[in-house]
A and B are shown apart, each in its own frame.
Chain A
Amino acid sequence: MFAGPSMAAFLLFVIIPFFYGIYLTMTNWDGIATTKTFVGIQNYIALFHDTEFWGSIFLTFKYVIAVVILTNVIAFLLAVLLTSGIRGESFLRAGFFTPNLIGGIVLGFIWQFIFNRVLTTLPVFPEKSMLGGEISAFWAMVIVQVWKESGYMLLIYIAGLVGVSQDYIEAAKIDGATSSQILTRIRLPLMMQSFTICFFLTLSTTFKVYDLNLSLTEGGPYNSTKMAVMTIIDKAFTYHEYGEGQAEAFAFFIIMLIVALIQLKVTSKKEVEA
């Protein structure tokens, strides 16, 4: 009863469009026509031969690996620092979280300005913008995404760290454990749930990156930072190959699902009950 409205909304806005989307993968719809012709698995066959799509999937994987690792390492280290009793903890927590309040499009334009107009004028940076090179533009995207995400993950890690019962910490101290031993042997195993959540969130948001991709690099230079979602949207909307674009979206969904399930399985295994 209580779940009724939520379930209805979930059904209307997620489940029905999801299955309608699967239906569209089997049509040759161009996104404009009022009629849709059924073409079976033709779009799936086409997507297997679409080198641009698979290239963007490979690029997205590289991006996800870089962002997930850097975000979580930085967020965790900052969380340790900000639970160690240093001055201005609350202020710093709020400060690190702030980038998360800025939308991806705005964030992209802000950082585009920084990369193109600020850093290029500083003597320690090259005159050419980071967004001008294929490799440097990729890392520019990583930097911005990590800058945005780590503040959010930081809060989850802080919650995990402070959520460990002081009884265990006290007991360990009495037994002569050092600070690093307390961290690695007591705190880390007991906060594995935080890792599970943070890895899942960073994985899913990073895989689906589009707004930042569009506003920061527009896929450039030379289409070298065109991630999977941008490739799919171009295919469906710009090139008017909606059916094939939708098939690519479905394939991408399956890939994401597999990766997310593997991640959940691996990290959940390491969780321990207090």
Chain B
Amino acid sequence: MKRKVLAMLLTAAMAASLMACGGGGDTSAESTEQTAGSEADTSSEETDSKEADESEQAEAPAADDGGSDYGGITLTFLNSKPEITDAVKKVTSAWGEAHGVTFEVTETSNPNDTLMANYQSGDAPILAVVDDANVLDFAAEHLLPLDGETWEGYTDMGKYVDGKLYGFPLTVESHCIVVNKAVVEENIGREFAAGDYKSIEAFEALLKEMRENGMETPVAVLPDIWSMVGHDFYPFYAYQDGTGEGAFALVDAVKGGKDIFEDELFYNHADFMSRVVAEYNINKADPLNADHDMTVLALAEGEVGFLLNGTWTWPELESMGASKSDDYTIMAYPNGSASAGKVMAAPTKYIVVDNSNATEEQQAAAKEFLNYLVMDEAGQKALIDDLGIVCAFTNNPNIPSDPINKALMQYISDGNTVTYLPLAFPSDYRDTITPAVQKLMTGEGDIRALADVLNDYWKNNDPNGR
């Protein structure tokens, strides 16, 4: 009898531990983070502080801009753009040494889950690199308004929520097709100009030609949900009229009863992805279970000419042997809209400052650091050369050194960009449409089924960001 009682108690205790884990301050999700946003698919969360490579520090831009000395305070910095973590450590370390600030840089590929856990445990980072949706979610309760900061006058890409500025635009990126131009030109025997392939028909003809010339599958599509679902199936919002308003109008129309299947841009894009891209995909046999690294490597090694991804791919390509002198460029997802040929471009990452746990001194240091990145020559250089990004500030004269971001700069300066921002998708949007998109890409579903999911979703949900 005693044994039975003990066994029952044991049962209750072990089962209760599940509830307890979900109860308060749970950080289990933090250690098992999923791939999200435009990031690599690592799930690690590294912690470091100022032990950046000594030699790197020696080359770090001088950061003694004559600003304040904070006497050894610590600023925690959460970075959700893993490919630039080393560069972030280098830049923060250089500025911190000159201003008596120690930066502790941590990394996550899922800023939502990490910040939720951090705020629940009262241990939020002072500075955080986050996605658009995170600014919307956390602004009201936890973030410091940054209105009136000097840098505000040099950009129109800051993230505003309810009229207040919360997000420092860290980088402008593009969901686009990355092109190994040298490989394509070698295959077709003539110069490749992205502007010649604005329409689906023209791009399809190019792929057909490349196949006839010996490259059986000239396109690489990443299997990751954040890419295939989160990026490859957003263009029909952005190209409605090239602005966020057009994207909102499409959503509003669907809410009002329009069948999205009847939307020409939606149908043509879904058809392009499921018929053309799926056919010429190097991962055609098993598009959902291909290896991420091998897929990117296929572009770096010239097995394919095109990779559906974005400008953030460069650090990955470079780590796989691509050189800044190589001939890469970017092109838009082909479509039949008036904006065809323009690439989607928008600030994709913002730096925010904590307003729940940070002291006034920490907030002041954080704000001074952000101004340094925009107003100081060394900071401007650090943004472009060290972080390797396309900058959202008009006063920065530096030009990215890699071919992909250079190409994006050219699109921006020519005015050839479109966006769906400030439309932001509710947090369950991507999960909801994932099965229909995946089935479409594997041939087990059709455009009608995806349209039904979208119709149903937008009838019951509102977009964020308006």
Chain A interface residues toward B at CB < 8 A: 10, 13-15, 17-18, 20-22, 24, 31-34, 105, 115-117, 120, 127-129, 131-132, 196, 200, 204, 208, 210-211, 214-215, 218, 220-224, 229, 232-234, 236-240, 245-246, 249-250, 252-253, 256-257, 260-261, 264, 268
Closest 4 CB pairs of A and B: A21-B23, A17-B23, A222-B435, A129-B289
Nearest CB of chain A from residue B339's CB, rounded to whole Å = 32
Verify A132–B16 contact, CB threshold 8 A: no
Chain B neighbourhood of A238, CB < 8 A: 112-113, 427-428, 431
Given B12, B34, B435, B442, which contacts A223 in the complex, CB threshold below 8 Å? B435
Verify B19–A116 contact, CB threshold 8 A: no
- Decide if B457 is an interface residue (CB 8 Å cutoff): no
Verify B32–A223 contact, CB threshold 8 A: no
- Decide if B7 is an interface residue (CB 8 Å cutoff): yes
Known: A220-B438, A238-B112. A264 touches B24 (CB 8 A): no
Verify B11–A21 contact, CB threshold 8 A: no
Verify A264–B19 contact, CB threshold 8 A: no
Chain B interface residues toward A at CB < 8 A: 3-4, 7-8, 10-24, 28-29, 31-32, 34, 43, 112-113, 116, 119-120, 137-138, 141-142, 225, 285-286, 288-291, 356, 426-428, 431, 434-435, 438-439, 442, 444
Verify A131–B289 contact, CB threshold 8 A: yes
Given B12, B14, B20, B286, which contacts A120 in the complex, CB threshold below 8 Å? B286
Nearest CB of chain A from residue B285's CB, rounded to whole Å = 5
Interface of chain A: mostly helix, strand, loop or mixed = helix
Given B15, B17, B138, which contacts A32 in the complex, CB threshold below 8 Å? B138
Given A196, A223, A250, A268, which contacts B19 in the complex, CB threshold below 8 Å? A250
Verify B19–A253 contact, CB threshold 8 A: yes
Chain B neighbourhood of A127, CB < 8 A: 285-286
Verify B142–A268 contact, CB threshold 8 A: no
Verify A257–B11 contact, CB threshold 8 A: yes
Nearest CB of chain A from residue B352's CB, rounded to whole Å = 13
Interface of chain B: mostly helix, strand, loop or mixed = helix
Chain B neighbourhood of A264, CB < 8 A: 4, 7-8, 11
Which residue of A has the minimal Cβ distance to B116? Answer: A31
Verify A32–B435 contact, CB threshold 8 A: no
Chain A neighbourhood of B10, CB < 8 A: 200
| Bound Cα distance from A66 to B317, whole angstroms | 43
Given B3, B29, B438, which contacts A221 in the complex, CB threshold below 8 Å? B438
Chain B neighbourhood of A20, CB < 8 A: 23-24
| Bound Cα distance from A240 to B427, whole angstroms | 8
Extra pairs beyond A17-B23, A18-B19, A240-B427 (11, CB < 8 Å): A14-B17, A116-B290, A117-B291, A128-B289, A129-B289, A132-B289, A208-B18, A221-B435, A245-B22, A249-B19, A257-B12
Chain A neighbourhood of B286, CB < 8 A: 116, 120, 127-129, 132
Known: A20-B24, A21-B20. A261 touches B434 (CB 8 A): no
| Bound Cα distance from A221 to B18, whole angstroms | 26
Q: Which of B7, B15, B288 has the most CB of A within 10 A?
A: B15
Chain B neighbourhood of A256, CB < 8 A: 15, 18
Verify A31–B120 contact, CB threshold 8 A: yes
Given B32, B119, B288, which contacts A211 in the complex, CB threshold below 8 Å? B32
Q: Which of A22, A115, A237, A239 has the most CB of B within 10 A?
A: A237
| Bound Cα distance from A88 to B34, whole angstroms | 41
Verify B289–A246 contact, CB threshold 8 A: no
| Bound Cα distance from A220 to B435, whole angstroms | 8
Verify B32–A18 contact, CB threshold 8 A: no
Chain B neighbourhood of A250, CB < 8 A: 19
A-B contacts counted at CB < 8 A amount to 145
Given A116, A210, A245, which contacts B289 in the complex, CB threshold below 8 Å? A116
| Bound Cα distance from A246 to B434, whole angstroms | 24
Known: A116-B291, A120-B286, A214-B34. A253 touches B18 (CB 8 A): yes
Given A18, A115, A237, A257, which contacts B116 in the complex, CB threshold below 8 Å? A237
Verify B288–A220 contact, CB threshold 8 A: yes
Chain B neighbourhood of A128, CB < 8 A: 285-286, 289
Verify B13–A222 contact, CB threshold 8 A: no
Verify B137–A249 contact, CB threshold 8 A: no
Given A18, A223, A261, which contacts B16 in the complex, CB threshold below 8 Å? A18
Verify A234–B116 contact, CB threshold 8 A: no
Which residue of B has the minimal Cβ distance to A250? Answer: B19
Chain A neighbourhood of B16, CB < 8 A: 14-15, 18, 253
| Bound Cα distance from A128 to B286, whole angstroms | 6
> What would be 14 A-B contacts, judged by CB atoms less than 8 Å apart?
A18-B20, A105-B31, A105-B32, A116-B286, A131-B289, A204-B15, A222-B435, A224-B435, A234-B431, A237-B29, A237-B112, A237-B113, A237-B116, A253-B15
Verify B142–A222 contact, CB threshold 8 A: no
Q: Which of A13, A17, A128, A218 has the most CB of B within 10 A?
A: A17
Chain A neighbourhood of B356, CB < 8 A: 34
Chain A neighbourhood of B435, CB < 8 A: 221-224
Which residue of A has the minimal Cβ distance to B287? Answer: A132
Known: A127-B285, A129-B289, A237-B29. A222 touches B434 (CB 8 A): yes
Chain B neighbourhood of A208, CB < 8 A: 18
Nearest CB of chain B from residue A229's CB, rounded to whole Å = 8
Given A33, A116, A229, A246, which contacts B23 in the complex, CB threshold below 8 Å? A246
Nearest CB of chain B from residue A113's CB, rounded to whole Å = 8
| Bound Cα distance from A174 to B315, whole angstroms | 75
Verify B288–A221 contact, CB threshold 8 A: yes
Verify B22–A232 contact, CB threshold 8 A: yes
Nearest CB of chain A from residue B231's CB, rounded to whole Å = 17
Verify B442–A132 contact, CB threshold 8 A: yes
Chain B neighbourhood of A24, CB < 8 A: 23-24
Verify A21–B7 contact, CB threshold 8 A: no
| Bound Cα distance from A17 to B286, whole angstroms | 44
Which residue of B has the minimal Cβ distance to A127? Answer: B285
Chain B neighbourhood of A116, CB < 8 A: 286, 289-291
Nearest CB of chain A from residue B115's CB, rounded to whole Å = 8
| Bound Cα distance from A257 to B290, whole angstroms | 39
Chain B neighbourhood of A34, CB < 8 A: 141, 356
Chain A neighbourhood of B142, CB < 8 A: 32
Which residue of A has the minimal Cβ distance to B445? Answer: A222
Chain A neighbourhood of B426, CB < 8 A: 239
Chain A neighbourhood of B32, CB < 8 A: 105, 210-211, 214-215
